[in-house]
Chain A
Amino acid sequence: MGQRASRSPVSSVLDAKALTKRYGHLEALRDVSFQAGAGEMVAVIGPNGAGKTTLLSILAGTQRADAGSVNRPPSEVGWAPQQPALYSKLSVVENLELFARLEKVPDPAAAVERMLEQTGLRARSREAVGRLSGGNRQRVNVAVGLLAGPPVLALDEPTASLDPAQRERMWAFIAGLAERGTTVVFSTHNVSEAQRHATRVLVLAEGRLLFDGAPARLLATQGQTEGGDLERALVGFLARHGDEPEAQS
């Protein structure tokens, strides 16, 4: 899959303003703001401890920000945490049905059917989730986040611990969602994945948003052209701009 074209958000579906989060004396997020439009795939990248998971958790509503706001309530943001949040003793269909009911989806059976169709897991729908491969479990994890048909999907490292073939299938699935208009915000340690699949990248370091723009623009900051090495560009960018944020595109 090639690099996706950057689309500027005509009208923002997701609007995060001045998000701040502290754990005791540690500032995990410092005044982070960004917007995302329909069908955008926004990658959140940065070193360990940068605040990526904290940002996604606040978008999903599993944590509250100490300051700032998100324009969408948690019920309008689908959530797929890094570790699949599923009941391993229940089957795929039982997990989907349970969360569809808890999400108060108007027609739970139809939502489950739709998700089985989208994830391609119909053949394994009666199998216990604990017996599925890591990739299939992650697909169910994402599917649970999509049951209520949210306009925004937050994915925390969706392909971590997956093998290359599973990763490819997962990205094809996520890309399909974006093409149908879902705004996808995902975190990843794999910068090349961000380069290939994201329309925009947010670079976080020590809780601050240092960069918000297309992957090609991050490459350009390091004198590279489209198709260059984004990972090297990110390392160079962090070395140069670690202390002050880059102006937003």
Chain B
Amino acid sequence: MRSLLRKDILILRRSRLLLALLVVYPVAIALLIGFALSRTPAHPRVAIFDQTPAGATIRMGSEHVDVARYTEQLFNQVQSVPVSSRAQAIAKVKSGDVLAAVVIPANIAAQLSSVLNHASLEVLYNGDALEQSLVRSTLDSALAHANLGFSEQIQKAAARAINALLRGGNLGGLGAPPNLVGLNQIPTLLHVIIQRQPRGHDRTELERIEAFAGFAARNLSLSRNVFSTVGQPIRVESKLVHGRRTPLNNFAVVVAVSVSLMFVCVLLAAGGVALEREEHTLGRLLRGLVSREALLAEKCLLAAGCSFVVAFAMLAGVGAFVALDWSRVGEWLLALALGAIAFAALGVAIGALAREVRASSLLAFLLSLPMAFLALVPSGAVSGGFSDAIAAVSFVFPFKASLQALDAAVNGASPSLGGSLVHLAVLTAVFGALARLGLRRAE
């Protein structure tokens, strides 16, 4: 086997273009996937034509809420491009300089203060169906965030006004006379006065007023909480049921490394076996010089070794930018090694079935790409039956098991490393047996 291994390393060293492609292509794909998964959506460029006069406020009882706070909330969600007219906003949308424009009318403060009508903004956008969908959903989200922030400001102003009415005192802001009695104090004061009144019609009327004042004070106090609930009816409290929380960046690293591991390994193993057929050497080797098992083991060893080195170098390199737990490096190596061997077994099975290098490379790509993408489809993202089919396909190919093993090794995620390693070992045996069958006819 040593002679064969030396020969294959020599051939690999002389196929520099192939070697470069084998490393560059998966790394490029891995980085693209990594970026796609780890980068938060970029803030879209949105032109803002704000017609509100500087310092415009909305009056809520004695409180004044600055309209600028609303626009600040909105600007935080987008990359704002201030424009000075509606026409300029439209021109920027048409030219594609911005994805959309928001026109804030001059009377928005008056609209909000009127309480009778909703205040409205004008949104202008352009582009194809996909862009429109993206812009609309992004802006809807941005506006929802801004609305929520603004409603909190209004709630606080309203709550302060209610507090003032309940406590009493000098409520100048509400246009009330000085040293006004608070609603909370009225029942107590009235009770003292009622006790001094003789029984009769006047006392009965005063008792009714006392009962109303008590009822009004209790309910007005309750309305502060109602405001808060109406402003944000549902709060989300998330809990992780099992496993460890994996930051998206760390998961993206695991995906990127797994993709590289898979491509380098499968292509190299498949190509290695197919090359023996293409060079017509398979028959010569298998007429007693090397056993089929030894030949497959040698191809697996070479492919797994090369991909292991590439994947570990990638993981270590990325570790310089993303915080990884180096104390688990032993588990990383185990997950990478078992993953590489399983991918190599798949590769030699493909190589044994294909008759030439090009066919084996094509078959390896055709199998690997969907295998990776199917494994990344979250359960529940598609309908039940289709989800089951995806789960079954992902189960019989090594990508998902390898991804889970590496995620468990690097991030301590579930399922456990042990289960994934056993899964990979079983898949190695199955694909190894398939490869052995594929080699039954040497030439």
Contact = CB atoms under 8 A, between A and B. Distances in A.
A230 B279 CA distance: 35
A62 B281 CA distance: 11
Contacts of A99: 284, 289
Interface string A108-129: 0000000000000000000000
Contacts of B118: none
A103 B10 CA distance: 20
A57 B443 CA distance: 10
Interface in B280-298: 280-281, 283-290
Interface string A86-107: 1111100010001101110000
A154 to B, nearest CB: 10
Contacts of A81: 280, 283-284, 443
B95 interface: no
B324 to A, nearest CB: 38
Interface residues of A, number: 25
Nearest to B290: A102
10 closest A-B pairs (Cβ-Cβ)? A61-B287, A102-B289, A62-B283, A85-B284, A85-B280, A83-B280, A101-B3, A74-B288, A74-B287, A85-B281
Size range of the chain B interface in the assembly:
20 to 34
Nearest to B288: A74
Interface of B: 3-4, 7, 10-11, 14-15, 279-281, 283-290, 442-443
B349 to A, nearest CB: 22
Of B14, B15, B280, B281, most buried by chain A (CB within 10 Å of CB) is: B281
Contacts of A63: 442
B279 A87 contact: yes
B273 to A, nearest CB: 14
A196 B283 CA distance: 30
A103 B280 contact: no
Nearest to B278: A88
B443 A87 contact: no
A89 B287 contact: no
A103 B289 contact: yes
B275 to A, nearest CB: 8
> SS class of chain A's interface: helix, strand, loop or mixed?
loop
A109 to B, nearest CB: 14
A89 B13 CA distance: 10
A62 B442 contact: yes
Of B7, B10, B286, most buried by chain A (CB within 10 Å of CB) is: B7
Interface of A: 57, 60-63, 73-75, 79, 81, 83-90, 94, 98-99, 101-103, 144
Contacts of A75: 288
Contacts of B443: 57, 62, 81
A83 B277 CA distance: 11
20 contacts: A57-B283, A62-B283, A62-B287, A62-B443, A63-B442, A81-B283, A81-B443, A85-B279, A85-B284, A86-B280, A86-B281, A87-B7, A88-B279, A89-B10, A89-B15, A90-B10, A94-B7, A101-B3, A102-B290, A144-B284
Given A90-B11, A98-B7, 11 more contacts: A62-B287, A74-B288, A81-B284, A84-B280, A87-B11, A88-B279, A89-B10, A89-B11, A90-B10, A94-B10, A99-B284
A129 to B, nearest CB: 9
Contacts of B3: 98, 101-102
A81 B282 CA distance: 11
A4 to B, nearest CB: 28
A73 B288 CA distance: 9
Nearest to A145: B284
Nearest to B7: A98
B86 to A, nearest CB: 68
A79 B4 CA distance: 19
A144 B15 CA distance: 24
Nearest to A83: B280
Contacts of A73: 288
A81 B183 CA distance: 108
Contacts of A102: 3-4, 285, 289-290
Contacts of B281: 85-87
Contacts of A79: 284, 287
A122 B416 CA distance: 60
Nearest to B8: A87
A63 B10 CA distance: 29
Contacts of A60: 287
Nearest to A82: B280
A134 B7 CA distance: 23
